[in-house]
A and B are shown apart, each in its own frame.
Chain A
């Protein structure tokens, strides 16, 4: 294994792409606990530590709860901190997610999306990350291994920006991205080092001249105002995410925004998708376009904060929208993506008709034909002029 000074294209799976980004970022502290399907990332990073390719203090904690707790202690001590997890691990961290965000600690966490128990299942869906959507973390979704790598590097800059100072989750779909080898272009080590820059410590516990108290008792007289300022903080990061995406584009040739619009400019119908299914959706769009259908895709890269204005601009001109949700809200009115999109479009007039599809739970495959069915359905809904069934399923045996 050697240090890479120059740009290089390698065959890497998503876990390896994330591990290489972590190697190049060279954080002060990584505290992580292995869990399928993220394990491979932690193993590879342990190799980098073992080979002396990073200067990182690698804390092999006894649980994910301790992983994020140690990350919080480390990040409050004035240095760059990263971790990675999946599914039950993220669920076990749940308590600490809110605390990390409330303390405004710029921790970067890679999440390999996996279904939540029960029953136990190791394959992809988004129930783990979506369960954490209100925790105060920025959430960036990735379509493929290249985006995982690119998002990890950008996440550091976004999290540590003085206008942000919030933790960031970079997600990738379990096995579909984490274990599938693709061609990934890596930047040179120095390029990454320069791009992320030196860490700027704020209120460090190791600054002995300025002792700070982290995590005080905060009662009815102040807590509410603190939450208000936290709301402001996360809402303010949208332009920063866009800026960093542009700057990264200038460096790498790969530009990133909050959303990606695929053949949407003149479309009448669109699907809204997150993660690896965007690749499948693009193929479906291409096939339908070949048949003369005016269809497109809206890919959401940044789900938290929710880019409401950009989504309204992208979807308002359409006749119909089919949202694809890879996680459910039991007892709720549709999946998390659907409810947000539908709410965002409420003030638009005339409004596109909107339907939701649950799909891919527990790693159930999604095919191009499934997405074609979703397009056919929304076209029917628009033809009839009203939604008779808001929520349906793709790829389910009934």
Chain B
């Protein structure tokens, strides 16, 4: 694991000048992950904020080979790149060691890209798939995804007289990926550089598919000040809404345990998308949110041998 000083000396692979919003969690995650690669890296990107904001023709913010083709197929695209690499290695046409990474948002990963991801994981390509999860379709203007938490306001789960925002809980993609039995799966957050770099490094060193689900705030969608990004993301971890853990060859390990588990309300309170939940008539929803988080947390602690 490199020190912060060493990381700062690594080449900038996603360069300044890209047009992601101030306070966006995605480039924080991407820069940390790419800094963790101690060998050359080739990236694929699903359609989404990260892709459109970094490559407005004729400019590109990428200092590494990079490909975007469509929304649902980042995993299949990088699988093709990695297959060509293997074919060329076998024929002696290339001898460098290269890492392969695919980036997708929660839309491109939890939803429309799930099939391509599952296929690529099952086939065992050597690549890292990173989901930068901002919990809704932010690129198209804040629509709900299957990663959006219960009760969140989005433009397709608006708060109205009858409905209090999204009525379903999010699905647990990290567990779905872990069920593929691939060698390395992790959940991390863009606010904890040490945790994220450590996991990315492990993932790049994995001989086979690896996956990291990174919580990365979108202040436009979550409705908080751009300057609050790190704090809001970290609060999700402290409330155990977004636990940091890894599954290495089937073995679960909690990589961060909050000293004091904070109530979910603290996280809900700092985001405009949950404002309506704080009204007295929606108290039951906050309680349901807390119960769900508690149950999930307990399950995870058991898996990690912590309970």
Contacts and interface: CB of A to CB of B under 8 A. Distances in A.
A214 B67 contact: yes
B77 A73 contact: yes
B280 interface: no
Interface string A194-208: 000000000011111
Contacts of A60: 123
A230 interface: no
B69 A208 contact: no
A66 B115 CA distance: 9
Interface in B30-69: 40, 42, 44, 51-52, 55-58, 60, 62-69
Contacts of A65: 72-73, 76, 116
Contacts of B57: 216-219, 222
Given A69-B69, A76-B67, A77-B81, A205 B119 contact: no
A176 B118 CA distance: 36
Interface in B146-196: none
B86 interface: yes
Q: Is the interface on chain B under 10, 10 to 19, 20 to 34, or 35 or more residues?
A: 35 or more
Interface stretch (B88-96, B235-243, B257-265): B88-96
Contacts of A207: 65
Contacts of A62: 115-116, 118-119, 122
Contacts of A56: 87
A369 B70 CA distance: 48
Interface in A46-85: 55-57, 59-63, 65-67, 69-79, 81
B86 A57 contact: yes
Contact of A79 (B51, B64, B88): B88
A213 B60 contact: yes
B83 interface: yes
A281 B80 CA distance: 42
Given A65-B116, A211-B64, A72 B98 contact: no
B152 to A, nearest CB: 28
A252 to B, nearest CB: 27
Given A71-B80, A73-B44, A216 B88 contact: no
A76 B69 CA distance: 11
A29 B58 CA distance: 30
Contact of A70 (B42, B63, B79, B122): B79
A215 B54 CA distance: 11
Contact of B83 (A74, A103, A204, A205): A74
Contacts of A214: 66-69
A259 B61 CA distance: 47
A153 interface: no
A74 B84 contact: yes
Interface in A213-239: 213-219, 222
A69 B77 contact: yes
A60 B124 CA distance: 11
Contacts of B55: 213, 215-217
Given A214-B69, A217-B57, A218-B57, A28 B77 contact: no
A63 B113 CA distance: 12
A212 B80 CA distance: 16
Nearest to B96: A208
A70 B51 CA distance: 18
Given A29-B80, A57-B84, A217 B56 contact: yes
Nearest to B53: A217
Contact of B119 (A57, A63, A81): A63
A72 B80 contact: yes
A95 interface: yes
Most buried by A among B56, B84, B85, B123: B84
A84 to B, nearest CB: 16
Contacts of A215: 51, 55, 67-69
B131 interface: no
B215 interface: no
B80 A69 contact: yes
B203 interface: no
A76 B78 CA distance: 10
B123 A206 contact: no
A371 interface: no
Contacts of A78: 84, 88
Nearest to B120: A66
Nearest to A33: B119
A31 interface: yes
A344 interface: no
Contacts of B52: 217
A103 B79 CA distance: 18
Given A65-B116, A73-B76, A212-B65, A206 B85 contact: yes
Contacts of A212: 65-66
Given A63-B115, A216-B56, A217-B51, A73 B66 contact: no
A119 to B, nearest CB: 25
Given A28-B88, A217-B57, A73 B116 contact: no
Most buried by B among A65, A78, A216, A222: A216
B96 A72 contact: no
Given A29-B80, A73-B69, A211-B66, 15 more contacts: A28-B91, A29-B84, A55-B90, A57-B83, A57-B86, A66-B119, A69-B70, A70-B83, A72-B80, A73-B77, A74-B80, A74-B84, A213-B67, A214-B67, A219-B57
Interface of B: 40, 42, 44, 51-52, 55-58, 60, 62-70, 72-73, 75-88, 90-91, 93-94, 96, 98, 115-116, 118-120, 122-123
13 contacts: A31-B79, A55-B90, A57-B87, A69-B69, A73-B44, A77-B88, A205-B65, A211-B63, A211-B64, A215-B55, A216-B56, A216-B57, A219-B57
Q: Which 9 A-B pairs have the closest CB atoms?
A: A73-B80, A62-B119, A70-B80, A216-B55, A66-B76, A77-B84, A69-B76, A69-B73, A74-B80
